[in-house]
Amino acid sequence: MDYENTPEMGNEDACSIASATGTDGVINLRDAKARRLDQQAEAARAKALAIEAKAAAAAEEARLKAEAEAEKARLKAEAERAAQAEAAAAMEEIKREIREEFLAEHDISYVASTDCWWHYHGATDSWTPIKERAVRMIRPDSMWDKLYWSLFMSVMAEDGRHFRTITSSFAEQPADVLNMLRPQFCPMAATADYDGFFDVLLHTLANGDPGGVAHIEQLILAKWQRPQNYLLPALAVHNEQGGAGKNLFVEAMLGTVFGRNLVADGLSMNDITSKFNSHLIGKAVWFVDESVEDKVDENALKRLLGSRQMWVEPKGLAKFQVENTALLVVAGNGVTGSVRVVGSEVDRRISVIEATRTLKSAVAEQRGCTVAEAEQWVRDVGQHLLRDREQVGRWLRAMQDRHGDLQHVAAFHGDSYKNLVRLQRPFHDLLFDALFKDEGFQYIRRPLLYEAYRDLAKTQNSSHATFKNRTFYAHLDSWSKREGIPLEKAKVNWRARPVNTSMPAAYRPTTPATTADIIYRPDRLPNLEDVVVNDERYGGSASGWNISI
């Protein structure tokens, strides 16, 4: 009987079989059951192993997939890093090109206070303000590209080309200030044996005045030693007949001392005092030629001389301040000089020299030749000596040996200055001198004084416009204080004869007298009761004035 394929039996069936088969049948049944259980266990184990193998295969597949994805991610990251490195290298190459090519050719900086870019031109040592569009148009094929422009801006920031504000100064500046001044002064030589033509030129300009010559030497040396000194006086050269060599002095000699690009010559006084004056920025010398004193804006010039800073207003840009760096040289051939002087402390910022002979005649005398030969020598040799940096360096050495270390140079007011003061004296001052310094003067009616001023100004062809009443008397007060002559005004009785003070008051005339406003010298008229009509002393427009000017 096949027990292995026999369906499971109940107890009763088993007992019936056992009863039928006996003891051996029971044993066989148990073995069959045991084998069946073993088979079931083996099947369970096989199933478990299959599940385990399947799980292992799944895990291995997951592992391999993870590794593949990790490798893919790694390769992608490497590719990205390589791309980034390549892009970074490309950007660095662009930045290198910006630095080494673009900025080497176009020296550009941005200044926030002016909201524009500043382009430095090395050949002319000058700066031009330009807007962003102009910067982009320098290289329109690349500058309009967003990436290129971004890299350009990065380079500007990295290289310190972004500034808060701008100035022009010989002094050290903070890192956020663009200093437009790049001086290239002539170096001082080791020896002092310079050509004598330098001395001939300066003696001609100063008319042989040793004080004037020394002053010119000191001015130049002081500016060379301390170029930031803004308190040096302006040098006014009065040369009525011309030919004294003032242009050679500035263009050739000073142009070599301070560098040609730091000397602004051929200026007019209007260039100095007008609104748009950006061409004056960062100069060591301003040279105003053919100046005429009666065309000078005195107030604007006074504001500029001795000021630490000056306002600059380029066209199209907001104005800004820079340091006042220049030594002013003013020259003119006019009869009344090139600047106005008044003979007081107001002139402390101006030195005056006068040349009365020509440079060629001075050279002819020095060289023992004709004037024509001297003129030719100046053209062929002299001017080149003044431009020779070695000769100029030797001259600087000699000046330092002669004058030492100069902290400051005061204005020079020699005979030329005093003569110019007298020559330029305004008409009202001449009238005041003639009237109030006269030994016989005591008093004059105020209306008569003003009438005399207006009439005499017309008849004597004064070039200055007459002042109105109030301004005229303000000038009289200023003159009185300046000259130290006491003047007072009073309202007095205007009588034909003085009051007889010895007569008792009760018997004196009681008829009211005419009154008058007078100006008088209290040191000469202690008693106002002594005033009587004196108009005839001074004359009038009808009869002629008895005032000699």
What is the domain-level CATH number for residue 347? 3.40.50
Q: Which two tokens stand for residue 148?
A: 């290129």
pLDDT of residue 468: 92
Domain assignment present for residue 455? The answer is yes
Same domain, 346 and 233: yes
Same domain, 202 and 159: no
Residue 58 sits at the vertex; the CA angle it makes with 55 and 62, to the nearest 5 degrees, is 135
State yes or no: pLDDT of 2 exceeds 50: no
Q: Which residue has the higher pLDDT, 13 or 166?
A: 166
For residue 19, give Cα distances in angstroms to 25, 31, 33, 366, 497. Answer: 9, 17, 18, 168, 191
Last residue of a domain, one of 421, 440, 472: 421
Is residue 442 exposed (0-12), middle (13-18) or buried (19+ Cβ within 10 Å)?
Answer: middle
Same domain, 355 and 212: yes
State yes or no: pLDDT of 295 exceeds 80: no
Domain assignment present for residue 96? The answer is no
State yes or no: pLDDT of 294 exceeds 70: no
The rounded percent of the chain whose pLDDT value lies above 70 is 89
Domain assignment present for residue 298? The answer is yes
pLDDT bin (cut points 50, 70, 90) of residue 3 is: very low
CA–CA separation, 431 vs 428, rounded Å?
5
CA–CA separation, 452 vs 446, rounded Å?
10
pLDDT of residue 140: 93
pLDDT bin (cut points 50, 70, 90) of residue 318 is: confident
Q: Which residue has the higher pLDDT, 433 or 126?
A: 433
Say if CB 464 and CB 426 are below 8 A apart. yes
Torsion from C-alpha of 199, 267, 296, 203, nearest 10 degrees: 10
State yes or no: pLDDT of 240 exceeds 90: no
For residue 222, give Cα distances in angstroms to 229, 251, 368. Answer: 8, 19, 34
Same domain, 436 and 414: no
What is the DSSP secondary-structure string of 12-44? HHHHHHHHHH-HHHHHHHHHHHHHHHHHHHHHH
Residue 174 sits at the vertex; the CA angle it makes with 173 and 178, to the nearest 5 degrees, is 70
pLDDT of residue 322: 82
Domain assignment present for residue 83? The answer is no
Domain assignment present for residue 182? The answer is no
pLDDT of residue 5: 46
Express each pLDDT in 463-482 by its tens digit: 567 899 999 999 999 999 98
Same domain, 438 and 404: no
Same domain, 408 and 438: no
Domain assignment present for residue 97? The answer is no
Number of CB atoms found within 10 A of residue 392's CB: 25
Same domain, 459 and 526: yes
CB-based contacts of 236, cutoff 8 Å, min separation 6:
330, 331, 337, 338, 339, 350, 351, 352, 353
Last residue of a domain, one of 380, 402, 421: 421
Mean pLDDT of the chain: 87
Where is 259: in which H helix or E strand? none
Number of domains present in the structure of the chain? 4
Last residue of a domain, one of 34, 58, 76: 76
State yes or no: pLDDT of 409 exceeds 90: yes
Domain enclosing residue 129, as ranges: 106-163
Same domain, 247 and 293: yes
Express each pLDDT in 366-393 by its tens digit: 999 999 999 999 999 999 999 999 999 9
Express each pLDDT in 96-121 by its tens digit: 999 999 999 999 999 999 899 999 99
pLDDT of residue 321: 80
Say if CB 382 and CB 197 are below 8 A apart. yes
pLDDT bin (cut points 50, 70, 90) of residue 512 is: low
Same domain, 131 and 265: no
Same domain, 366 and 416: yes
Domain assignment present for residue 476? The answer is yes
pLDDT of residue 1: 42
CA–CA separation, 475 vs 464, rounded Å?
14
The stretch 264-279 carries a mean pLDDT of 80
Give bridge partners of residue 287 from the DSSP assignment: 329
Same domain, 270 and 143: no
Domain assignment present for residue 541? The answer is yes
pLDDT of residue 4: 44
The stretch 383-407 carries a mean pLDDT of 97
Same domain, 411 and 432: no
CA–CA separation, 268 vs 305, rounded Å?
16
CA–CA separation, 418 vs 353, rounded Å?
10
pLDDT of residue 510: 52
Q: Out of 8-12, 28-32, 206-210, 415-419, which region has the weakest mean confidence (pLDDT)?
A: 8-12
